[in-house]
Amino acid sequence: MTSRFKNIIPFSMLVILAIIPLVLGIGYAVSYSFGLTGVLNNGFTLAHWQTALSNKDVLMSFGYSILLSFVSIVLCVGAAAFLAFYIGDKLQSGRLSYFLYLPMAFPALVAAFFFFQFLSNGGFLSRFFFQLGFIKTIDDFPNLVNDKYSIGILAAQFFLTLPVFVLLNLSIIKNENIAALKTLGASLGAKRSQILFRVTLPVMLKKSFPTVVLFFIFKLGTYEIPLLLGRSSPEVISVITVRKMQRYNLLDIPQGYVIAVLYAMLVFVLLTLSLKPSKINMNV
């Protein structure tokens, strides 16, 4: 009886604090998008879905967000693996670890402002090169924020996410006893490249995959950094959703909910495909 009671409490908390609000929130969004809720809605309609889906900005936004998140994750995972392999022991403690983990304390909005001040034409880096005489005017400094290639967004996201993946990799290296596996591979005659590509990387990627997917989803939904460092068009999903919900035309709000529902569906599909119970082994 006590054991059963012990299980009921956390399960109830999960249902009350996480599942019910999520289901109600999505239900409200679906209802709003079909015109069933909302002061200015007049009953069931497919018009908001038709308008949103025929709007190329919405589709571009999904494509752009997925691409941006993918590139951001690839950069972070690659760099984190490199750091963990080669200087992992130095990152466990000491000054280097302090500098590496410091970004984790930064809120996204602060990081966005910091990168804007650092990388913009009137920013610190531009002025530094101007003072050194590398550029004639600050306008000669390349576009690194609000730029075509989203460099500013990628840089800010890299800064914030890298420590998480370094920590994850260090944890996997330790828990999976990678050092012993490497020694075993070497003793069986494998070359360094074979050890890396046949042993180390597959183990690391397999173990970190669920976390990578979760961060991919997390990056899909980021708001402040793309808002401040991104371009007016294309916009990431969160920015276009907020724009539809918070601009001057109240009649655009249902379209914002359509995008929110589409985003929720995308996240659900990603989670279903990637986080099968057998794969959930975070090891963080």
Binding to another protein by CB under 8 A, coded x per residue (else -) over 179-218, reads ----------------------------------------
Check binding of 120 to another protein (CB under 8 A). yes
Residue with Cβ nearer another protein (92 or 117): 117
> Applying CB under 8 A, which of residues 26, 75, 135, 138 lies at the interface with another protein?
138
Residue among 69 and 120 whose Cβ is closer to another protein: 120
Does 8 contact another protein by CB under 8 A?
no
- Sequential DSSP letters for 143-167: --SS-TT-HHHHHHHHHHHHHHHHH
Cα separation, 69 vs 113, in Å, equals 20
Residue 55 phi, psi dihedral angles, 5° rounding: -90, 115
CA distances from residue 116 to 5, 151, 228, 239 in whole angstroms, order as listed: 52, 11, 8, 18
> If binding is defined by CB under 8 A, does position 116 make contact with another protein?
yes
Helix 108-119 vs helix 124-132: crossing angle, to nearest 10? 20
Pick from 222, 219, 208: nearest CA to 173: 208
Question: What distance in Å separates the CA atoms of residue 77 and residue 157, rounded to the nearest whole number?
Answer: 12
Q: H helices within the chain, ranges in order? A: 2-14, 20-33, 47-53, 56-91, 95-101, 108-119, 124-132, 151-175, 178-187, 192-194, 201-220, 224-229, 237-246, 253-274
| Contact between 224 and another protein per CB under 8 A | no
> Among the candidate windows 7-15, 33-41, 94-102, 153-161, which touches another protein by CB under 8 A?
33-41
Q: How far apart are CA 254 and CA 51, in angstroms?
A: 10
Size of the site for another protein (CB under 8 A): 28
Rule CB under 8 A: is residue 45 a binding residue for another protein?
no
Cα 263 to Cα 71, 84, 118, 260: the distances in Å are 19, 33, 32, 5
The one segment of 42-50, 138-146, 172-180, 270-278 that binds another protein by CB under 8 A:
138-146
Q: What mask, x for binding another protein by CB under 8 A, covers residues 139 to 158? A: x---x--xxx----------
CB of 126 to another protein, least distance (A): 9
Interface with another protein (CB under 8 A), residue from 57, 75, 151, 267:
57
Out of 123, 163, 210, 254, point to the residue binding another protein (CB under 8 A).
123
* Per-residue contact string for residues 241-260; x = within reach of another protein by CB under 8 A: ----xxxxxx----------
Q: Distance of alpha carbon 96 from its chain centroid, rounded? A: 25
Measured CA to CA, the distance from residue 130 to residue 118 in angstroms comes to 14
Binding mask 60-99 for another protein (x = CB under 8 A): ----------------------------------------
User: Which residues contact another protein (rule: CB under 8 A)?
Assistant: 37-40, 57, 116, 120-123, 138-139, 143, 146-148, 227-228, 230-233, 245-250
